[in-house]
Amino acid sequence: MIIHIKKAIILSVIATTVISTIAYASPAQPTKEQERPNILLILADDLGYGDVGFNGAEDIKTPSLDALAQGGTKFTSAYNAHAFCGPSRAGLMTGRYPHKFGSQFNLPRSSRSGHLGVPTGETYFSKVLQDAGYYTGALGKWHLGEDAEFHPNNRGFDEFYGFLNGGHKYFPKQFKAAYNRQTKNGLDYAIFSYLKPLERNGVEVDETEYVTDGLSREAVNFIKTAAKDKSQPFFLYLAYNAPHTPMEAKEEDMAMFPDIQDKKRKTYAGMVYAVDRGVKRIVTALKDSGQYENTLIVFLSDNGGKPNTGASNHPLIGKKGDVKEGGFRTPMFFHWPNKVAAGKEYNHPVITLDFFPTFAALANANIPSDKKLDGKNIWPALANNSNARPDEMIYALRHRTGFSEAAARKNQWKAITTGKEWQLFDIEKDISEQHDLSKKHPDILREMQAEMEAWTWTHAEPLWFHKHEEGTLWREKSMPRFHETFSAIAERQ
């Protein structure tokens, strides 16, 4: 039964602002209205760096993703703006490090995320594309705020289908039964969010398919709808919650991996395969609707995988939440026939913050003149296989209890501290971070530390914490304690 949620979603009307056009010279840069591409951004959740065939997986089959990667360009040094879900997505959408606007923690786990969300003063690139005439859709996991002002329909998306919190169970028969039991007991605020009905544009719906399949279905339907008006390009943000917990896979998907004996790994593999099956359906829909040739498909994960749920980040060390490579380096590719080179690798560092200016440039869209971006338009550099940010830093920062883990990548160098000593790696030669070169190149490390410390002065205090205990410890421990994080600079002088 369709149920209306208590707070109606009211589409906002944003006042006209002074805007500046982003224009770049590039051999593959669209310059005409009809050349503006559709943009399909597919985001997996907690996918390990080594868990897709195009990144070296030997036991997990991802034929559809592999075909797209081979037909496009694979990014071997792609990074997220943070090492776990909420902040990573906040950075992706805003084009800014989440630390700069208080979004460096996951939203509160309480009902409706404590009525908090990414500040509305932070323009999303979805809004910029929408204002440029794109038909926009968001599917799946949101995790950027649940109240009306933070809802996808008020942040640049014409259509939304999915769930607003940080996760969801996968089998409708199971989560609907549990939800009904709790509602019969008069619960509202105490109901586990992973059990609640999915929604379409603010109205709860009765999903009947395995959730990953349901999201793939909705992506196909969105493409079919968009194809009815070929004069209007589309942007679709497809945020699968797989293979995020809970670990729930279809039997037929797990059966594709008879050689995997470990139960966790087998379940995980089935969840990844369901995503791959969905991508196959979506590619077919693009071809059938005549949209395939003019669609930029981007695929990646929001952060590293969790080995304790069956993921592998091989050959990287670290896991989701870390500032080691396994925490925030992601498998990624761009695919656009005749526009993105096929069968190539782009080995220079990029970060998801780059999506905002890159997509805006491809869409001939205007970015508000007061919008400060941390990302770069990487399209010209991709076209000629050059470094989009020579001698410029990519940062990672994760706050722990009483200390902060910090890392930065510049060219081939990576400086990192996990709360103890600082280390320096030539990450191009040593992707597994095994050979510390800090004593051999102390000046390089000192320079990177100093630049990173200057970056931290731009940070804002957290607007929320995932749990009350985190906020209590933040105050008790006088966080963020950057004077300790960067004390090594003074000691070496």
**Residue 1 falls inside a structural domain:** no
CA 46 to chain centre: 10
pLDDT at 326: 98
Contact 81, 91 (CB under 8 A): yes
- 380 and 397 assigned to the same domain: no
pLDDT at 235: 98
Pick the catalytic residue from 85, 99, 168, 244.
85
Is 314 designated active site?
no
**Residue 475 falls inside a structural domain:** yes
Segments in 71-141 forming alpha helices (H): 85-94, 125-131
pLDDT at 208: 98
Q: What's the rounded Cα separation, in Å, for the pair 115 and 448?
A: 38
Q: What is the extent of the structural domain holding 188? A: 35-384
- 296 and 421 assigned to the same domain: no
Q: Which residues of the chain have pLDDT under 50?
A: 1-33, 490, 492-493
- 406 and 379 assigned to the same domain: no
- 75 and 49 assigned to the same domain: yes
Tell me the two tokens of residue 469. 């205990």
Is 115 designated active site?
no
Q: What's the rounded Cα separation, in Å, for the pair 476 and 114?
A: 22
- 397 and 377 assigned to the same domain: no
Run of H or E including 398: strand 393-399
pTM for the structure as a whole = 0.92
Pick the last residue of a domain from 351, 367, 384.
384
Pick the catalytic residue from 143, 151, 348, 466.
143
In one-letter notation, the amino acid at residue 142 is W
Pick the last residue of a domain from 357, 384, 411.
384
C-alpha distances (whole Å) from 443 to each of 112, 323, 439 are: 48, 22, 9
- 378 and 397 assigned to the same domain: no
What phi and psi values does residue 399 have, to the nearest 5 degrees?
A: -85, 130
Tell me the two tokens of residue 174. 């199971």
- 348 and 419 assigned to the same domain: no
**Residue 178 falls inside a structural domain:** yes
Q: In the chain, how many domains are there?
A: 2
**Residue 13 falls inside a structural domain:** no
- 141 and 204 assigned to the same domain: yes
Pick the last residue of a domain from 352, 384, 416.
384
**Residue 3 falls inside a structural domain:** no
**Residue 16 falls inside a structural domain:** no
User: Residue 331 sits in a domain of what CATH number?
Assistant: 3.40.720.10
**Residue 92 falls inside a structural domain:** yes
- 378 and 417 assigned to the same domain: no
pLDDT at 111: 87
Half-sphere exposure of 455 (CA within 13 A, CB side): 22
- 247 and 312 assigned to the same domain: yes
Place of tokens 């992601």: 330
User: Residue 468 sits in a domain of what CATH number?
Assistant: 3.30.1120.10
Tell me the two tokens of residue 397. 């920062």
Contact 470, 105 (CB under 8 A): yes
**Residue 20 falls inside a structural domain:** no
Q: What's the rounded Cα separation, in Å, for the pair 236 and 133?
A: 13
- 371 and 404 assigned to the same domain: no
Q: What's the rounded Cα separation, in Å, for the pair 465 and 459?
A: 16
- 289 and 420 assigned to the same domain: no
Tell me the two tokens of residue 12. 């906002």
pLDDT at 185: 85
pLDDT at 488: 58
pLDDT at 27: 34
Cα dihedral 393, 166, 51, 330 in deg (nearest 10)? -10
